[in-house]
Amino acid sequence: MADTSETARAARSWNASQLPDQSGRTAVVTGANSGIGFAAADALARAGAHVVFAVRDPARGEAAAARVAGSTEVRRLDLADLDSVRAFADAWSGPLDLLINNAGVMMLPEGRTKQGFETQFGTNHLGHFALTNLLLPHVTDRVVTVSSELHRGGDGVIDFENPNLRGRYTPTRAYAQSKLANLLFTLELQRRLAEAGSLVRALAAHPGYAATNLQSHAANPLMRAFMAIGNKVVAQDDRGGALPTLYAATQDLPGASYVGPGSLGGMRGAPALAGRSHAASDPAAARRLWTLSEELTGVAWEPVAPAR
């Protein structure tokens, strides 16, 4: 492992042009048709990887992939439908070097996934939980899950007794819970991988404040207006927002690392290791969330081979 001071100095100026050669590697990027997902997929493909655009709308995915100079393919994946998640995983064959759990929804009006879960928790967490576990026998290098600094908001904890937030839903509370779940999932996945002796690593990243189309779907019109101003004044573009994901996906970092922009309070800048809330570092909560997620999705952990 690289010396941490050297890693920190290098990260301060790191950008996508410094991606190591990805030739011969295969990556799946969920939600790759737009925003930071597209930027990450584009950078990986340009570096030589074969990138699978895992998207809900294949037509939009094909249009996005056509803009990429590199090896790509498009496969349908609707994270709000566990049947679609299973179909995607069942169709997979061969090694998968990198799984980037990027897709997500943000601060929507209250709704439900096909299986009846609150939309943000069901899509952002449960869909990726099921996808990762179903694909894990194929993964050879790492899993990167995109969270958010807004994991600190809402109640600051997972509502284990009422994860669908029935009777107490707010768009911000639900989004914060789903992003906290992303970090706890990463923590427990890394613990299980290490315990099994696997060389696969689980890491998380956040884009800081990146101008993407996510903000335009917020339920509150005042919030949409506020974020539209922030997109113009404070935010970095989607390629800047993708840098923490790419850094987590390709650099020599410890498992369970959390990467985000290193400047302006974590809102923009070159990637660096990021702090997280106390709740996001709670191993007991991570184990409890894992058990709950297995019960809700019907997808259980299967020990992985120790050598990869």
Backbone angles phi, psi at 93, to 5 degrees: -140, 150
Listing DSSP states for 6-25 in one string gives HHHHHHTT--GGGPPP-TT-
**Angstrom distance (rounded) from CA 305 to CA 113:** 33
Q: Catalytic positions, please?
A: 175
Q: What is the sign, positive or negative, of the torsion defined by CA atoms of 240, 246, 251, 257?
A: positive
Q: Is 146 helix (H, G, I), strand (E, B) or coil?
A: strand
At CA 48, angle to CA 99 and CA 31, rounded to 5? 35
Other CB atoms within 10 Å distance of the CB of residue 44 = 32
Give all strands (DSSP E) within the chain, no chain letters: 26-30, 50-55, 71-76, 96-101, 139-146, 201-205, 258-263, 268-273
Do 55 and 32 meet the contact criterion of CB atoms below 8 Å apart?
yes
71: closest CA among 22, 7, 10?
Answer: 22
CA distance 240 to 52: 21
Dihedral in degrees, nearest 10, Cα atoms 242, 283, 155, 298: 80
User: Is there a contact between 118 and 165 (Cβ–Cβ < 8 Å)?
Assistant: yes
